[in-house]
Amino acid sequence: EIVLTQSPATLSLSPGERVTLSCRASQSVGNYLAWYQQKPGQAPRLLIYDASSRATGIPARFSGSGSGTDFTLTISTLEPEDFAVYYCQQRSHWPPEYTFGQGTKLEIK
């Protein structure tokens, strides 16, 4: 099973700041890496797919990069609504399965 490790577990920042979240895979996942945002009481929302493509309706301040085992999600200028938990997720071909990272909580400083 491919394990995704996100860091840090928690980040305390202020609106207007730039933030970079990290996701590391235990083995190469190519570019099959997605990022989600989840707010309390809500379902996750897809932000980034295939490592660097923004999903429909996602603001340009969100960007993803990386390939292989190391990936990042960057929010260029934090807005108040961006404080949430962020998860990375990969799909492996064999065994056919999906796994999620443990999440990074972005909280207001």
Partner 1 sequence: QVHLVQSGAEVKKPGSSVKVSCKTSGGTLTMFALSWVRQAPGQGLEWMGGSIPISTTPNFAQKFQGRLTITADKSTGTASMELSNLRSEDTAVYYCARGNGSDFDYWGLGTLVTVSS
Q: What residue ranges bind partner 1 (CB under 8 A)?
A: 1, 32-34, 36, 38, 43-46, 49-50, 55-56, 87, 89-91, 93, 95-103
Closest CA to 106 of 68, 67, 79, 70: 79
Cβ 39 to partner 1, closest distance in Å? 13
Cβ 79 to partner 1, closest distance in Å? 22
Of 66 and 101, which has the nearer Cβ to partner 1? 101
Of 16 and 43, which has the nearer Cβ to partner 1? 43
Between the CA of residue 89 and those of 29, 39, 48, 78, what are the distances in Å?
A: 10, 17, 10, 22
The residue whose two tokens read 């980034």 is 48
Cβ 15 to partner 1, closest distance in Å? 25
Of 49 and 62, which has the nearer Cβ to partner 1? 49
Between the CA of residue 2 and those of 14, 24, 65, what are the distances in Å?
A: 33, 10, 19
